[in-house]
Every structure is written in structure tokens, then in C-alpha cells.
Amino acid sequence: MKNHSNSAQLFEKAKTLMPGGVNSPVRAFKSVGGTPVFIKKGKGAYITDEDNNEYIDYCCSWGPLILGHANEDVEKAIIETVKNGTSFGAPTALENQLADLIIANHSYIEKIRFVSSGTEAVMSALRLARGVTGKSKIIKFEGCYHGHVDSLLVKAGSGLITFGESTSAGVPESFTNETIVLPLNDEDAVSSTLEKLHHQIAAIIIEPIPANNGLLLQSHKFLLHLRELCTKYNVLLIFDEVISGFRVGFEGAAGLYKIQPDIITFGKIIGGGMPVGAYASSHEIMNHVSPVGNVYQAGTLSGNPVAMAAGYAQLHACLQEDFYHHLQHKADLLVDGVKKHIEQKGYEITIYNIGSIFWFAFSDMTHLTRADQINAGKMTLFAKVYHHLFEEGIYFGPSGYEVGFVSAAHTEADIQKTIKAICNAFDKVM
Ligand SMILES: *Cc1c(COP(=O)(O)O)cnc(C)c1O
């Protein structure tokens, strides 16, 4: 067994200082059991913990690090920028530079506003949709995560038209009443809800590639159906691309499926590992945002120069020829390698990817599309696999509901080593 004594000690101390010892709940390892490791440093595809154990990292800070850890270009951009100060609360050329790079290379947006997290981007996008339409209710889907926005911390309640039930204490019922929760990939559910309630509905928000509760792949037809219905009923379609943006291609899921949403939210990759979020749309819709329009939204550290420089360096690298092609190739390699073993052994496990996002689940289905298809009872198997991989020096996000990310820094040798470790882990638990 690896030595984790320094991490264990740090975690004991952290628990006296922060709730559960962490600043974001999933980091606490509750769903796989055991103690989280504290990370000392990362380089490329590797992270090193406080006891000097090394891991090949497929969490990649939950997606942002598409170039891997401490990428030289990103590092250099941060260091050069920080020498000139860290924040001014006044415009900088760096904001123009990043906005220009994104807009010039993204066919689905014309204007962007930077914020500091994915949650903030989503919260602002909802306000904008409400401001533009003059309506208040939002449709979201069971199995999509949109950050910790009050009115979106809801799951389907009971009853025909399901007003949400809060999944967190501290969310007033009046907020959850503004949210309607529907099953993913179900055209009829959306049609019938809009038919009845479109006068009250401001927006439909969806992760076009739901990747926060397993990887639930939606049919192209379903996403097109959302687009058509939204246009028909004057409801805005929000693609929450905080994970999929710049991940499955520079234009994200909108580009992959060739669907024009009304508003797109970004986060994660956009900041190159620094805290950045953004929401973007047409000139017409974005001009509703203050100071031009009457939808108020602001941020002291929004468009922070150091974060803008990091985001620019990372997105600039993403625009190099064949960047996404190479990433996809490595993820395919990983998935195909493991799949071959699963098929040989006849295990009831599925593994699949879209671009460089991959996920495996203990299921007899080849692809899952809805949250209720995930077998929660099998998560004990995931926890066992997790710890085997952990011992072998392979680091995943500590939950079976989380996806894995391949970065540009992973080598084919890393991938081969990972395939072997995953196959061994499956052999041990199945
Ligand atoms: C991560 C994520 C968020 C929240 O972003 P934070 O930066 O954690 O606030 C919102 N939506 C989606 C789709 C995400 O993946």
C-alpha cells in the first residue's frame, strides 16, 4: 500500500478549518470512501501528492486542464502578466484579446461577458433569458448539473408537470417553483410541457453533452427538437457548455451538433486553469446586459488580467491544427483498449467517449441517455475499481458519476499503462 500519511494529517487539520476539510464537496472522497490525497504539484499528465506518490491524472481539475498541468505557454503567460499587477477593476487589453480570439473562432456567438466561475455564468444567463423574454420559469433536465445556482439545485418532484424539489437545504420553495425538471432525451415531455406553459417559460437550459452525472449522450434529434420548440414558443435555448465548451472542439457541442443556441455558458477550459466563466450570445441578446441594457450583472474580479492571459494561452493552443483530432485519437485508444477486454471477458460494463471525455459504468446498456438508467447500486463496484486504480497510480475524479478527461499531455504510453490498470481492476472486482 502506498503511504498517504502526510495527506491524512493535512486532511485531519483541514477538517477543523473548512467544512468536511474541503472547499468543494466532491473532493472529500465521500462517494468512494477513504481519505483524499493533497496535491503538491502537477506537470503534464501527472500529479504528485504530499507523500510524493505520482498519478496519471484523468480528473484534470474536473476538465479545465486540456493541455495538462503547468503547461509552459500557460505558465509563461501567467508569470509575464502577473509582473504588471494582478487586478485593476478597469478594462485591460487582455479582455479584448481573449474575447476576440473566442468570437473570431466560434460561429455561434457574437458578444461575450466574462465572469469568474461556471455557476456565475449560468446564474447570469438565466437572468438574461428572463430579462429578454419577460418570463420567469426555466426548464432543466434531470441529470444535468449547472453549478450551485439556487433555482437549479432541484430534482424532479412527483406529479405530472414536475416542479422541482430542492436538493439542498437553504433554497426557498418559491425559487424551486420557477424550475421545471424533465427527463433527458424525451421529446414528448418537452413538447407537452411547452404546449401548456410556454407563456411562463423563459428558457430551456441543458448540458448538450451531459457530463456531470455520468456521460449521458443525447440524440441529435432531441437537441434539434429543443431548438425548434424554443424558436416556436419564444423560449431561449441555453447550452451550458461549461464542460463541453472548447472540449469536444473549439465550438463545443453547438459546433459538433451544428445547433445555434440562444445563449452559451462557458467555464473550466476557458480560463486555462484560472477562475473564469463567461456567457455569450448574439449582439442583440447581449445588449440587454448592463451597462447597455437593463439586465444587471457585475464582478469586481471579472475579466481578471492574469486569468485572461491564461485563458488566451490555452485557447490559442487549442486552435492549432489537428489539436482536437489528436485528443480524440488518444481517448479512442483508451476506450477501445478497455472495451476489447470487457467484451472478451463478457463483463456488464460499458465504456464510451465523446471527444476527449470518457466514462465507464456498470451497465448492460452500451450508451446511457437518461439519469435514471444509472444503477446507483453498482457504485460500490466503482469505489473498489477506484481504489485499485489509485494504488496503481491512476487518478480519477473520486465518484462513479464523474467523467474522465484526456489532455494533450497524456502520451500513448500513459494511455497503454492506464488500459492495463483499468482491465486489471475490472478483473479484480468482477
Ligand atoms: C462545472 C460546471 C458548472 C459550474 O461551474 P463552477 O465553475 O464549478 O461554478 C456549471 N455547469 C456545468 C455544465 C459544469 O460542468
Helix or strand or coil: residue 404? strand
- Percent share of the chain, pLDDT over 70: 98
Mean pLDDT computed over 65-86: 98
Q: How far is the CA of 175 from the centre of ligand 1 (A)?
A: 20
Atom number of ligand 1 nearest to Cα 267: 7
159 or 189: whose pLDDT is higher? 189
pLDDT of residue 159: 57
Give all domains of the chain, ordered by start, each with its CATH number.
5-70+322-429 (3.90.1150.10), 72-318 (3.40.640.10)
Is residue 158 predicted with pLDDT exceeding 70? no
165 — pLDDT class (breaks 50, 70, 90): confident
Mean pLDDT computed over 49-74: 98
346 — pLDDT class (breaks 50, 70, 90): very high
Mutate which of 119, 206, 270, 405 for ligand 1? The one with the most ligand atoms within 8 Å of its CB, which is 119
Work out whether the CA dihedral 359, 115, 226, 183 comes out positive or negative.
Answer: positive
Give rounded-to-5 percent helix, strand, coil for the chain: 40, 15, 40
Name the residue at shortest CA distance from atom 14 of ligand 1: 242
Q: How far is the CA of 331 from the centre of ligand 1 (A)?
A: 22
pLDDT of residue 156: 77
pLDDT of residue 161: 55
Mean pLDDT computed over 178-187: 96
pLDDT of residue 155: 86
Atom number of ligand 1 nearest to Cα 120: 9
pLDDT of residue 305: 98
Mean pLDDT computed over 256-270: 98
Angle at Cα 142 formed by Cα 218 and Cα 190, nearest 5°? 65
Are 217 and 209 in contact by the 8 Å Cβ rule? The answer is yes
What are the φ/ψ torsions at residue 200 (nearest 5 degrees)?
-105, -10
Q: How far is the CA of 124 from the centre of ligand 1 (A)?
A: 13
- What gap in Å lies between CA 314 and CA 133, rounded to an integer? 35
pLDDT of residue 40: 98
pLDDT digits (tens, 9 = 90+) for 124-148: 999 999 999 999 999 999 999 999 9
pLDDT of residue 1: 84
- What gap in Å lies between CA 327 and CA 354, rounded to an integer? 11
Is residue 167 predicted with pLDDT exceeding 60? yes
Mean pLDDT computed over 24-45: 95
Q: How far is the CA of 264 from the centre of ligand 1 (A)?
A: 13
pLDDT of residue 162: 57
Please list the active-site residues: 145, 240, 268
Name the residue at shortest CA distance from atom 6 of ligand 1: 118
Are 3 and 392 in contact by the 8 Å Cβ rule? The answer is no
Average pLDDT of the chain, as a whole number: 96
CB atoms within 10 A of CB 39: 17
Helix or strand or coil: residue 91? coil
pLDDT digits (tens, 9 = 90+) for 385-417: 999 999 999 999 999 999 999 999 999 999 999
pLDDT of residue 224: 98
pLDDT of residue 48: 98
pLDDT of residue 419: 98
Is residue 310 predicted with pLDDT exceeding 80? yes
Each residue of 58-72: b (16+ CB within 10 Å) or e? bbbbbbbbbbbbebe
Helix or strand or coil: residue 43? strand
pLDDT digits (tens, 9 = 90+) for 214-248: 999 999 999 999 999 999 999 999 999 999 999 99
Pocket lined around ligand 1, Cβ cut-off 6 Å: 117-119, 122, 145-147, 207, 212, 240, 242-243, 267-268, 277
